[in-house]
Amino acid sequence: MENTPKKEVVFSAIQPSGTITLGNYLGAVRNWVSLQDEYNCIYALADLHTITVRQNPAQFRKNIIDAYASIIACGVDVEKSVFFIQSHVHTHAELAWILNCYTQFGELSRMTQFKDKSAKHADNINAGLFTYPVLMAGDILLYQADKVPVGADQKQHIEITCDIAKRFNGIYGDVFKIPEGFIPKNGARVMSLQNPLNKMSKSDENVNGCVHLLDPPEVIMKKFKRAVTDSEACVRYAEGKDGVNNLMTIYSAVTGKTFEQIENEFAGKGYGDFKTAVGEAVVEELRPIRERYEQLVKDKAYLEECYHKADEIALKISSRTLGKVMKKVGYVR
Ligand code: AQP
């Protein structure tokens, strides 16, 4: 009998730092869903990462449950994939500490997310913000992941993960699988609707810049109608037309239409028609997610059962890697 080839491992995580956005969905979560049949998928709510920015405890607790329910509502199937909560699995913090000692200050200083977030939170440039990529490297390496589906903003963090893993393997032998980023062709970098030079972020203070998965249809339509464009009044993808380019990217990612098809569809029409069409397409894409979320979030017992089951599996898998790492480093077991 022929051996069935072992499925490759996919790992990715998302922070419960606010309501999940259209950017998170198009850049990452939609891929999480589509990879579930072909790969062994392991997904996490990265709540340890979230406290690198100060959180209100009650709101944070709510955000964790809401984000857990939202991801299942997006289509992550807890029967097929392992979907756990990072802070429930102690191996993450432990491997992060060890890997901190194999990561250079200089390489962490070059991380653009650290530079951006320290500029944004100048009153709280904490050590966790600086070592964030090491915790993320540990998350991925614990599961010996082959592929990591993320948005384009995480490319540099995947690169440093590979550098840390190679450095460790160079000293101790093949302990870690070297992972590969899996970045979508379309929707990898969704920008703010109000400032298309900045990426759309959960924690954006300008509520009109960001579309949340759970926004009601009328709110989504209003945000798209207010989206920043330009004075040319011509729907085409071109340098300097950041607002229109962003709307075309979103429309293309949601409908599957190419930029050329979009340009033809809106030839001779103004931005008003275009914005309405983008808004409506997004509303229809998100409608089933919001409806499913509303059902799920009421059933706290079911959600708890899901994450407890997944936490245990994650602990079992990750403990194997952590055990190997500790033995290689020389700890007495
Ligand atoms: N604007 C975006 N376009 C495409 N992909 C995006 N991602 C984030 N923003 C965009 C992808 O979503 C996944 C989860 O991200 P995260 O929660 O781990 O952290 P983040 O990148 O810092 O996301 P946010 O929304 O910007 O959160 P805050 O405001 O808390 O910093 C990742 O795969 C990311 O690439």
Instruction: Write out the CATH class of domain 9-188+300-329.
Output: alpha beta
Q: Is the CB of 27 under 6 A from ligand 1?
A: yes
Instruction: Tell which residue, 190, 246, 111, has the closest CA to residue 119.
Output: 111
**312 contacts: CB under 8 Å, gap ≥ 6:** none
Query: What is the best residue among 11, 15, 25, 213 to mutate for testing ligand 1's pocket, by most ligand atoms within 8 Å of CB?
Result: 15
HSE at residue 234, side-chain half, CA atoms within 13 A, is: 5
Fold for 207-294, please state it. Tyrosyl-Transfer RNA Synthetase (1.10.240)
Helix intervals (H) in the chain = 22-24, 30-34, 47-50, 57-74, 91-100, 105-109, 112-120, 127-142, 155-172, 217-225, 242-255, 259-265, 271-296, 300-329
Instruction: Tell which residue, 182, 186, 184, has the closest CA to residue 255.
Output: 186
Q: Which atom of ligand 1 is nearest to the CA of 191?
A: 1
Q: Is the CB of 203 under 6 A from ligand 1?
A: yes
Active site residues: 117, 199, 202
Specify the residue with its C-alpha closest to ligand 1, atom 15: 14
Q: What are the start and end residues of each CATH 3.40.50.620 domain in the chain?
A: 9-188+300-329
What element of type H or E holds 45? strand 40-45
Structure tokens at 314: 């994650």
Q: What are the start and end residues of each CATH 1.10.240.10 domain in the chain?
A: 207-294
pTM for the full predicted model = 0.95
Q: Is the CB of 15 under 6 A from ligand 1?
A: yes
Question: 69 CA to middle of ligand 1, Å?
Answer: 17
**104 contacts: CB under 8 Å, gap ≥ 6:** none
Instruction: Tell which residue, 235, 263, 256, 139, has the closest CA to residue 186.
Output: 256
Q: Is the CB of 215 under 6 A from ligand 1?
A: no
Question: 158 CA to middle of ligand 1, Å?
Answer: 14
- Residue pLDDT tens, the chain, 333 long: 456 678 999 999 999 999 999 999 999 999 999 999 999 999 999 999 999 999 999 999 999 999 999 999 999 999 999 999 999 999 999 999 999 999 999 999 999 999 999 998 899 999 999 999 999 999 999 999 999 999 999 999 999 999 999 999 999 999 999 999 999 988 899 999 999 999 999 988 899 999 999 999 999 999 999 999 999 999 999 999 999 999 999 999 999 999 999 999 999 998 999 999 999 999 999 999 999 999 999 999 999 999 999 999 999 999 999 999 999 999 998
Q: Is the CB of 211 under 6 A from ligand 1?
A: no
